[in-house]
Amino acid sequence: SILEISASWEAAKALRFSKQNSAPNGTSSMQTDFFEKEFYASVVTGKYSKAIQIMQDIIEKIRQETITAQIKNNNDAVIYKITGMAVCLFSMSASNYSESISISSLQKIHALWNEGYKKEALDEIFTLLNKIHETALSNKSPLIKEALAYINHHFTELISLESAAETLSVSPVHLSRVMKEELGKGFARTLTETRLEHAKKILQDPHISIKEASLKCGYQDPNYFARVFKNYTGITPVEYQEKELKHES
Domains and CATH numbers, the chain: 2-138 (no CATH), 142-248 (1.10.10.60)
Lowest-pLDDT range of 76-80, 96-100, 109-113: 96-100
Lowest-confidence pick of 20-24, 40-44, 125-129, 229-233: 20-24
Note the pLDDT tens digit of each residue in 200-209.
989 989 899 9
pLDDT at residue 57 tops 60: yes
Q: Which of 138, 136, 140, 55 is nearest to 97 (CA)?
A: 136
pLDDT of residue 121 exceeding 80: no
Q: Which of the two residues, 176 and 77, has the higher pLDDT score?
A: 176
Average pLDDT over residues 124-148: 78
Per-residue confidence at 52, pLDDT binned at 50, 70, 90?
Answer: confident
Share of the chain above pLDDT 70, in %: 58
pLDDT tens, 217-249? Answer: 999 999 999 999 998 888 899 998 888 777 665
What's the mean per-residue pLDDT of the chain? Answer: 74
At 75 the pLDDT is 40
Of 85-99, 132-146, 211-225, the range with the highest mean pLDDT is 211-225
Average pLDDT over residues 100-110: 66
Report pLDDT for 50. 73
Q: For residues 200 and 179, what is the distance between their CA atoms, to the nearest angstrom?
A: 24
CB–CB of 88/9 below 8 Å? yes
Q: How far apart are CA 61 and CA 192, in angstroms?
A: 16
Cβ atoms of 196 and 232 closer than 8 Å: yes
- C-alpha pair distances (Å), 225 with each of 74, 194, 195, 212, 214: 35, 13, 10, 11, 6
pLDDT value, residue 115: 79
Q: Please give the DSSP secondary-structure letter assigned to residue 5.
A: H
Nearest residue to 89 (alpha-carbon basis) of 35, 138, 49: 49
* Alpha-helical regions (H) of 155-235: 161-168, 172-183, 187-202, 210-216, 222-233
pLDDT on residue 108 = 78
Contact indicator for 96, 84 with CB cutoff of 8 Å: no
* Predicted pLDDT at 182: 83
**Over 50: is that where the pLDDT of 11 sits?**
no
Examine the pLDDT at 153 and tell me if it is beyond 60: yes
Please count the other Cβ atoms lying within 10 Å of the Cβ belonging to residue 231.
10
Distance in angstroms (rounded) separating the CA atoms of residues 174 and 45: 21
Residue 21 has pLDDT above 50, yes or no: no
